Structure 1
Amino acid sequence: MSAPAPVDPRRVRADEYRRRGWWRDETFLDDLRRQARHRPHHLAIAGRRVAEARTDTLDYAELLQLTERFARALAGLGVRRGDFVAVQLPNRWEMVPLIFACARVGAVICPISPVCPEDELRHRLALTEARVCVTIPGWAGSPLASTVTALSGELATLEQVFVVGGPVPDGARDFHDHFVDPDPDRVGRTEAVPEGRELGPDDPFVVLFTSGTTGESKGVLHSQNTVHSAIRGYVDTFGLGPGLVAAVSTPLCHYSGFAQGILAGVLLGGTVAFQDVRRNEALLDLVERYGATLLYGPPATLADVTASQRADPRDTSTLRHAVIGSAPVLADLAADIRDTLGARAHSLWGMSENGPVTITRPGQPEDWAAHSNGGPIDAMEVRIDPAGPDGTLDGVGRLRVRGASLALGYHKRDDVYAAEFGADGWFDTGDLARADGDGGIRIVGRARDAVVRDGTVAPMTELEAVIGGHPTVTEAALVGLPGPGGDTLCAVVVPSGTGHPALDELRAHVERAGLDRRFLPERLEVVTALPKTLTGKVRKAELRARWTGA
């Protein structure tokens, strides 16, 4: 009698994910069609153009109509199933139908920030072999359209460059002429999308690039199902439904804006509002105008919003949730959100490889976001592995995760992605964390940046948040500078004005916040700006190199 065939664990997990509803046989395009059918005139998106003092809006019927129009335009360009389409736009309405149009023709969308140096842009376009790139004339002094057009002369795979809203350099084409203008006589306008092109739920759907803090950025490849499981957990945590009105402050080219913003809104049939430039105080205008029920952003954004509300109160009576990612939530900020906005602060932790993984819950103590990054969503598991030579570092360990939201891999870097997994199938996040005492976690910092004193790991992320909250500091980073006697804790700060705190003043500020005296900063450096990646992460290796031995 022959032995039974071995069981493929990936197939077992996929079956379980579908049984639990985390993965499904539908797609986000199916969601869009359903919303257009059942609530065609419900507001889908509101994109504010701050400098032009106008807001572009689309209801669900209009969004589906533009999706089909954009898809025909892509098909007319010869975009085939499996091709990549790069989209380098700020938070503008054109981004949204492009997301769905790419899926409609079977292409993988590659969102790219307008703040992208030429070398990094070249890397992303070359790695994905994008055939089409949609960009804008310029951003923050950078001539984006000219740069991308010049790159099309270097990269044989980049065949078409389209420019949204402005001068079009030689070698590029006007986006609105080809994609938006309804003139049926234009070339490619009537090109039908061939049958069988549309992406399935498990096909590669989007590539989101990592920050590249220690080297070349990696393209994180997701399917619609890996994204769906994450945002399903996100919306279920807060009990969100079709009444969702989300004001999103993060870029639509990042996971939070792309998935937790646009795709979550379409999944539920809600409304998503955003603006094209960073003016945090103006977010309150979106909250008041559209009756936002949820506001998403990093701590600095929410701090600006609460300060603006104190100075110039707006009606925020509809706001229920302020969801904060990327850094710790301090108790003062959570209290400010409650007192000025009438909303509940929640802390979220995640990464490009898996989206939102842990979130504090509405049923937990009201100030819990100041003590925890929350517990895992249903589709994910978390594990803290003991660290240190004897297996313990005061309860702090390496954070590992697994579940339905994990990415398909790194595009063309399968070996690098595989190296992030242990033999037991758990993904190494690179973060250190401790248990929060209520089934969740508290992020301590990146493992490569850890500083240890007397067997205790310095809470780097919390220390940075406290130092950055000093009245004369705009933002701060903390690094350990190696020396013969061990690491020296160096605070690197960007002052908020002409002055800045002295080291003794900064140490007293940290001590008043109740943090361990062993981790008071021992050195202070003042800079005009912190070196950052495209996703806003501080390049700490660069800071360490700058002052080690100095």
Structure 2
Amino acid sequence: MSTSARERATVAAGGAGTVSAERAAEYRRRGWWREETFLDDLRRRAREHPRRPAVAGRRVAESRTDTLDYAELNRLTDRFALALLELGVGQGDFVAVQLPNRWEMVPLIFASIRVGAVIIPISPICTEEELRHRLGLTEARVCVTLPAWSDTPLAEIATRLKDELRTLEHVLVVDGPVPEGALPFHGHFVAEEREEREGAAARLDGLALGPDDPFVVLFTSGTTGPSKGVLHSQNTVHSAVRGYVDAYGAGEDAGDGGGWVAAVSTPLVHYSGFAQGVLAGVMLGGTVAFQDVRHNEALLDLVERYGATLLYGPPATLADVVASQRAERRDTSTLRHVVIGSAPVLEELADEVHAVLGARAHSLWGMSENGPVTTTRPEDPEGWAARSNGSAIDAMETRIETSRAYGSTGATGAVGRLKVRGASLALGYHRRPEAFAAELDEDGWFDTGDLARDDGRGGIRIIGRARDAVVRDGRVAPMTELEAVIGSHPRAEEAALVGLEAPGGQGPGNVIVAVVVPRGGRGPTLEEIRARVTGAGHDARFLPDRVELLAALPKTLTGKVRKAELRERYAADTAPA
């Protein structure tokens, strides 16, 4: 990216955060930051292994799988890049992509890098208000979307917003009917072999993003207000995915890359699918496999067909996968690592993953601002994933800042606010530099907003969000662990805990309410929940006082529970059961 384009993008990002020259030099010396980019990785893999599968995208409803090898992905990257140029996209512009897990997402990532544009992955379940916020905040010039998703007319909404937002010039629709004012995606991006035109390569020369340029905006959950756009460079992402793959022995397992085959259940518009899935795969020269809709029972089909060595997903997904394997066995002999993120790993699930899938379960913790920060590793004790969220990847550091607000500061396993710093930290919040700066101290430590304790082996165990903390008798309730235990009850789909103020103003958190989504119409009773919590070995002081059944938990686009809504909903009656 040219200096002027870099300046435009940085200004648009609200003066994105920087690190000192000394620290940046250290990151480069350690190999966490580099002079190459993910586009360089793609070109190298296309030269070395042109026919190796890069992408396998399953279309569940259509019973088909779209595949791209490295030569095809490289060629489509140039084709898509030239298509972006013809739409007027230039260096420093922003390109929004609102798609499920489909193959088109992958060349769009690399085409944006190729023309010097910043990509904005957006979930297809985004509401009109949230889409307006994302497109308006980034001043996206192009939006790629679907005709509809879950009965929401995405293309109509995006086209309507094009008339409202002055910077949004083009809406392109993937498959299906195209509303007036929009363009067919495949007709513009895929049908014409622009890369074969005379002078095509010259048109793209000198445009690509550099490793430190703004590269992607990933939106946060927005549990307490409008979502923040987290801005990353390729280097901040590279340091995270490098640490992620190294933690599982990618050098040993992958060799020249052919041994790294990841089946990813999470959306490609989230950090885990975007970076740990697509970009990690291309960086290693491996294969990433995914499906366009949630169909957990079929994930093992991808594992068997493509010889996946790693499977990534949240606990509920992996529980479904284990149950599916018990019902219909697939060949999972290639599977070595099952990485579980977003919630605690229960010992029962870790044991079942090993017994049924023949793989080691790992627990991972991270966030959009940093990517994967901690993970358990193959060399950890057996079953450690059920006791820890692991230790920091090489490029990151963690620190637990205790205070009396969260109990005793000197006790073993004292709880405190989790802070992190390192090469994977984002450049900043797009157009909200003050919000990002507010979470940083003078030494570069970023306040994650989570509470954690030391796991006893140099790693961490996440307790829950600080703003949702419940303190009883000077001890913080391990909210995430309790929610996992309650949510694993046979008559529960999932659960959330909230602390409410007791009658008479005795203080917040005196009443613990378990909000449960029942499985099969009938949820567990309070007595059954208490018995399950006690049976899992948790302190009796943290037993729920009430249980409330709810058809679905209110959630953000990234799947986080809106606990403020639950507290408001159940605050009217806080008398213990």
Which of the five TM-score ranges fits, normalised by the shorter chain? over 0.9
State the AA in 1 paired with 2:214. P
**1:393: how far off?**
8.0
Q: Is the 8 A contact 1:71 1:105 kept in 2?
A: yes
**1:81: how far off?**
0.4
Q: Which residue of 2 aligns with 1:531?
A: 554
Which of residues 198, 202, 206 is equivalent to 1:196? 206
State the AA in 2 paired with 1:504. E
CA distance in 2, matches of 1:295, 1:187: 40
**1:66: how far off?**
0.2
CA distance in 2, matches of 1:287, 1:422: 43
Which of residues 367, 370, 388 is equivalent to 1:372? 388
TM-score, length basis structure 2: 0.92
Structure 1 stretches (4+) deviating beyond 4 angstroms?
A: 183-192
Percent of matched pairs sharing the same residue: 72
Can you list the C-alpha shifts for 1:184-221, whole angstroms capped at 9, x where unaligned? 69999969634321100000000000000000100000
CA distance in 1, matches of 2:153, 2:196: 28
Q: Which residue of 2 aligns with 1:392?
A: 409
Q: Which residue of 2 aligns with 1:239?
A: 249
Map 1:333-372 to 2 at 5 A: 333-372=349-388
Map 1:222-301 to 2 at 5 A: 222-240=232-250, 241=254, 242=257, 243-301=259-317
CA distance in 2, matches of 1:271, 1:191: 27
CA distance in 1, matches of 2:350, 2:410: 29
Which of residues 480, 502, 506 is equivalent to 1:485? 506
Q: Which residue of 2 aligns with 1:547?
A: 570
Distance 1:203 1:516, change over 3 A: same
Q: CA RMSD in A?
A: 1.7
Distance 1:32 1:190, change over 3 A: closer
Q: Which residue of 2 aligns with 1:4?
A: none
Q: Which residue of 1 aligns with 2:545?
A: 522
State the AA in 1 paired with 2:296. N
Q: Is the 8 A contact 2:237 2:371 kept in 1?
A: yes
Distance 1:252 1:516, change over 3 A: same
Which of residues 121, 135, 144 is equivalent to 2:145? 135
CA distance in 2, matches of 1:355, 1:290: 26
Distance 1:189 1:498, change over 3 A: farther
What SS does the corresponding residue of 2:404 show, helix, strand or coil? coil
What SS does the corresponding residue of 1:193 show, helix, strand or coil? helix
Q: Which residue of 1 aligns with 2:22?
A: 12
Q: Which residue of 1 aligns with 2:162?
A: 152
Determine whether 1:451 maps to 2:470.
yes
State the AA in 2 paired with 1:534. L
Map 1:305-324 to 2 at 5 A: 305-324=321-340
Structure 2: stretches of 5+ with no match in the other structure: 1-17
What SS does the corresponding residue of 2:203 show, helix, strand or coil? coil
**1:182: how far off?**
2.1
What SS does the corresponding residue of 2:123 show, helix, strand or coil? coil
Q: Which residue of 2 aligns with 1:401?
A: 420
Distance 1:336 1:184, change over 3 A: closer
**1:454: how far off?**
1.1
Deviates further, 215-224 or 182-191: 182-191
Which of residues 493, 518, 524 is equivalent to 1:495? 518
Can you list the C-alpha shifts for 1:210-236, whole angstroms capped at 9, x where unaligned? 000000100000000000000000011
**1:422: how far off?**
1.5
CA distance in 2, matches of 1:193, 1:334: 52
Q: Which residue of 2 aligns with 1:3?
A: none
Q: Is the 8 A contact 2:464 2:478 kept in 1?
A: yes
Q: Which residue of 2 aligns with 1:467?
A: 486
Q: Which residue of 1 aligns with 2:319?
A: 303
CA distance in 1, matches of 2:221, 2:459: 26
Q: Is the 8 A contact 1:249 1:274 kept in 2?
A: yes
Q: Is the 8 A contact 1:77 1:188 kept in 2?
A: no
Which of residues 50, 53, 68 is equivalent to 1:58? 68
Q: Which residue of 2 aligns with 1:81?
A: 91
State the AA in 1 paired with 2:552. A
Determine whether 1:429 maps to 2:448.
yes
CA distance in 1, matches of 2:410, 2:547: 27
Q: Which residue of 1 aligns with 2:7?
A: none
Can you list the C-alpha shifts for 1:498-539, whole angstroms capped at 9, x where unaligned? 211111111111111111111011011100000000000000
CA distance in 2, matches of 1:77, 1:59: 27
State the AA in 1 paired with 2:501. P
**1:388: how far off?**
1.7
**1:392: how far off?**
1.9
State the AA in 1 paired with 2:512. L
Distance 1:393 1:519, change over 3 A: farther
Distance 1:454 1:234, change over 3 A: same
What SS does the corresponding residue of 2:420 show, helix, strand or coil? strand
Q: Is the 8 A contact 1:444 1:460 kept in 2?
A: yes
CA distance in 2, matches of 1:358, 1:417: 21
TM-score, length basis structure 1: 0.97
CA distance in 2, matches of 1:367, 1:206: 36
Q: Is the 8 A contact 2:263 2:311 kept in 1?
A: yes
Structure 1: stretches of 5+ with no match in the other structure: 1-7
Q: Is the 8 A contact 1:490 1:521 kept in 2?
A: yes
State the AA in 2 paired with 1:466. V
CA distance in 1, matches of 2:408, 2:169: 54
CA distance in 1, matches of 2:556, 2:198: 38
